[in-house]
Amino acid sequence: MSPLAASIAAVAAFARPEITLPLEDPILKFLLIMAIVLAAPILLNKLKVPYLLGLIIAGAVIGPHGLNLVLRDSSIILSGTAGLLYIMFLSGLDLDMSDLRRSSSRSLLFGLLTFGIPLAAGILAGRCLLGFPIHSSVLLAGLFASQTLIAYPIVSKLGITRDKAVTIAVGGTVVTDTLALLLLTVVVGVATGSVEEGFWWRLALSVVGCIACIIGLFPLLARWFFKRCSDNVSQYVFVLVMVFLGAWLAQWAGLEPIIGAFLAGLALNRLIPRTSPLMNRIEFVGNAVFIPFFLIGVGMLIDYRAFFRNWESLEVAAVMIVLVTAAKYAAAYLSQKAFRLTRNQRTLLFGLSSAHVAATLAAVMVGYNVILGHTPDGEPIRLLGESVLNGTILMILVTCTVSTFATQHGAHQIALKGARRDERTPSAASEHVLIPVAHAGMIDELVGLGIALTKQKYRSLYALKAIDNRLHDPEVQKSGQRLLDRAAEAAAAAGIHMHRLLRYDVNIVNAIVSVVRERNVSDLVLGMHQVEGTPTLALPDVLGGGAAALGKTLPQVIEGSNVTTYIYCARQPLPTVRRHLVFVPRKAELEAGFDTWLLRIRHLAHDTAGARLIFHAAPATIDHLRRHRRRRGADIAAYVAHDEGWSWDDLPAMLREVRPDDCVWVVMSRRDRISYQAAMNRVPGYLEELLPHNSYVMLFPVQAGGDEEKMYLA
């Protein structure tokens, strides 16, 4: 062999990685796990098996008790812990806060049922069937009572996270897990004799302090950060910091970290709308990486050989599985009768509450590690013996299987019924939103407003860049295309497709009006006209009078397109707004587009649940505003009635009382229409002069009397 060939062979031999089992190469370990995450949904969907169960089984196969391909080492534990916290954080983040407030008593009752029934069953089983001492029986009952929202990703994927049964299940999970983990703390303390004077006071103060810190301080910190930092990566990292900080604070207070992660989700719920790009990133990373690692890590705990070594483990496991499943179903059944839920909602409630992983595993490990004494042979006497540990592992596998199948069935049926109901909804006709773009600095906020105003199922977004057809400069076209790409990126960050329209026309007004007609646009979102960096002050012609103008374009567009039009001046991110103040003129309820704009604003307030919605109007108008609230549940809005003599000349006095973080909405009117007032021509000046630091929107509804009336009233 030549020296060159020998050198090449030596280099190849040196470079070839050595494969050993279990895998130690981090690249191969990560490759194997990600291949499982990729293949599990593809293969199991064809078999009608929930992919979550597939990931658990895959973990058992490749784990130390299966083929021994991957050890459950610190890297798996770290990623799995993050995944578990992620599930609880998402469950808090996805909750409809208004529904949670209305369902708080239901969640509390369900939590007490799904805690109390298994607790009683566990104590009786431990004392009467298994012959355990009282401390061990109570701790065993705590294992029965706790639950994990392992099937929550199924609900999230089907888009029914705001169903009543889901809200009750999530709230009940927090209640029962908190009680179960507090029970664990007390039982271990009593069994080991560590309950001293002041124990209860210290526990109560630490728990209350932790909850107050997360719920009270986290929203303030998050609002401050989001207002000052618009970088997407920094915002996501900030959210991760909040999740783990909340988990650590809960752990410090003597609670399980999952409680802190859930509270962090509740705290940030109001600041991260479901349609926002940040929410899209949070769900994407969690469902693609962290949560699958957690499920695979759970599977690695399963040791099927332990049941053949000790028949007592099988006996204990059988008792645990039968009783815990029956107890959880009984709680779901009683809740269905009490809350008048459907059969599918009962199935979903049972599925979400029947899995046992996180708190159960934590409790059994604590009980197993507590040694009360030793036998004459020197064997340790544990609070929970090895048979309970092995039985718990089998219970985890079976309950996760039952949970995923039940949740899949119930959630699928609820989603199908919701889809059929939406198809029969007449308002599903057309939510086509047109966003003309001219300045790069305004695009993100305009796109965000367009997304927040409309429902995802019926929404079509169009970005338009209009170019004067007398211009033949290639750079103008390239610049316009860059603006359209920027708008498409802003929409894509929220998981929404944006149609890009580059149009040459005789002028910008004609281009916008033509696209409105051609695309059957229902909503037009415009940014404030900029003159040397400063928005102009009044609307001539359209409103009547006024020397200064919002440029020549906006008034002509408003007059030429009889669609719901929003002129938006964004001075802070929409999710950080605390209150939306909506000023409505007299007789606005008589306009053709009254229902449409009211539906849009209510949808925005519901999507950004952290902001209050306050209407200012005459008493007759407020009566109509109240009638158009959500069909289910309490009204999310507040109302301030003004006397019938109230006019836009009184607006400055009210604008001076606007607080920081308020967004002002003024419902306007085109000239000579039903709700038109002569003082409206001064409104833009009032807004610009009196709201130098607040966002505001001037809203022009669809109005009768225009040439396009019949086209746009649909």
pLDDT in tens, 197-233: 677 788 788 888 888 999 999 999 999 999 888 888 8
The answer to whether residue 556 is domain-embedded is: no
Which CATH number goes with the domain that contains 511?
3.40.50.620
Helices and strands (DSSP H and E) totals, the chain: 28, 14
Which tokens in the block code for residue 282?
């949070």
Cβ(653)–Cβ(628) below 8 Å: no
The answer to whether residue 473 is domain-embedded is: yes
Cβ(675)–Cβ(588) below 8 Å: yes
Mean pLDDT on 67-91? 86
Question: Helix, strand, or coil here: 463?
Answer: strand
Please check whether residues 226 and 273 belong to one and the same domain.
Answer: yes
pLDDT at 358: 66
Which of 312-321, 324-333, 344-353 comes out lowest in average pLDDT?
312-321
Of 391, 395, 396, 394, give the one whose Cα is nearest residue 368: 391
Task: Please report, rounded to a whole number, the percentage of residues in the chain having pLDDT higher than 70.
Answer: 87
Among the candidates 477, 499, 527, a domain finishes at: 527
pLDDT tens digits for 270-321? 888 877 888 888 988 888 888 888 888 878 877 777 667 767 778 888 999 9
pLDDT at 540: 41
At 115, the pLDDT band (50, 70, 90 cuts) reads: very high
pLDDT at 8: 53
Please check whether residues 396 and 502 belong to one and the same domain.
Answer: no
pLDDT at 332: 94
In angstroms, the CA 158 to CA 269 distance is 20
pLDDT at 559: 84
Please check whether residues 408 and 275 belong to one and the same domain.
Answer: yes
Cβ(367)–Cβ(384) below 8 Å: yes
What is the domain range of residue 485? 430-527
Please check whether residues 446 and 493 belong to one and the same domain.
Answer: yes
Which of 8-17, 233-242, 561-570 comes out lowest in average pLDDT?
8-17
Mean pLDDT on 320-331? 93
Which CATH number goes with the domain that contains 693?
3.40.50
Catalogue the E-assigned strands of 618-676: 637-641, 662-667
Question: In the 8-state DSSP scheme, what is residue 584?
Answer: -
Pairing mode, if any, of strands 498-505 and 523-527? unpaired
Residue 246, H or E segment: helix 232-252
Pairing mode, if any, of strands 459-468 and 431-436? parallel
411: left (phi over 0), alpha (psi -120 to 50) or beta: alpha
Q: How many domains does the structure of the chain reveal?
A: 3
Among the candidates 366, 396, 420, a domain finishes at: 420
Amino acid type, 598: L
Cβ(251)–Cβ(430) below 8 Å: no
The answer to whether residue 649 is domain-embedded is: yes
Which of 11-15, 315-319, 522-526, 535-539 comes out lowest in average pLDDT?
535-539
Mean pLDDT on 48-58? 78
Please check whether residues 505 and 612 belong to one and the same domain.
Answer: no
At 249, the pLDDT band (50, 70, 90 cuts) reads: very high
Mean pLDDT on 90-105? 75
Please check whether residues 600 and 512 belong to one and the same domain.
Answer: no
| Statement: residue 524 has pLDDT above 90 | yes
Cβ(278)–Cβ(232) below 8 Å: yes
Cβ(423)–Cβ(457) below 8 Å: no
pLDDT at 426: 46
Question: Between these two residues, 117 and 313, which has the higher pLDDT value?
Answer: 117
Residue 698, H or E segment: strand 695-700
Cβ(149)–Cβ(175) below 8 Å: no
Averaged pLDDT of the chain:
82
Q: Which residues contact 695 (CB under 8 A, 6 or more apart)?
A: 568, 569, 570, 571, 572, 574, 577, 663, 664
Of 555, 558, 606, give the one whose Cα is nearest residue 580: 606
Of 591, 662, 673, 575, give the one whose Cα is nearest residue 625: 591
pLDDT tens digits for 466-497? 888 877 778 888 888 999 999 999 888 888 88
404: buried, middle or exposed (CB in 10 Å: 19+, 13-18, 0-12)?
A: buried
In angstroms, the CA 537 to CA 556 distance is 16
Please check whether residues 122 and 202 belong to one and the same domain.
Answer: yes
The answer to whether residue 18 is domain-embedded is: no
Among the candidates 469, 497, 527, a domain finishes at: 527
Task: Name residue, tokens 């999230």.
Answer: 156
pLDDT at 80: 85
Please check whether residues 168 and 297 belong to one and the same domain.
Answer: yes
In angstroms, the CA 201 to CA 197 distance is 9
The answer to whether residue 554 is domain-embedded is: no
The answer to whether residue 171 is domain-embedded is: yes
Of 517, 158, 67, give the one whose Cα is nearest residue 348: 158
Q: How far is CA 442 from CA 271, 486, 569, in A?
A: 20, 11, 9
Please check whether residues 190 and 47 belong to one and the same domain.
Answer: yes
Positive or negative torsion for Cα 274, 279, 280, 284: negative
Which CATH number goes with the domain that contains 32?
1.20.1530.20
Please check whether residues 97 and 244 belong to one and the same domain.
Answer: yes
704: buried, middle or exposed (CB in 10 Å: 19+, 13-18, 0-12)?
A: middle
Of 525, 555, 549, give the one whose Cα is nearest residue 671: 555
Amino acid type, 158: L
Please check whether residues 228 and 81 belong to one and the same domain.
Answer: yes
Positive or negative torsion for Cα 281, 283, 287, 293: positive
| Statement: residue 661 has pLDDT above 50 | yes
At 3, the pLDDT band (50, 70, 90 cuts) reads: low
Residue 524, H or E segment: strand 523-527
Which tokens in the block code for residue 465?
């860049």
Please check whether residues 602 and 520 belong to one and the same domain.
Answer: no
The answer to whether residue 381 is domain-embedded is: yes
The answer to whether residue 4 is domain-embedded is: no
| Statement: residue 538 has pLDDT above 60 | no
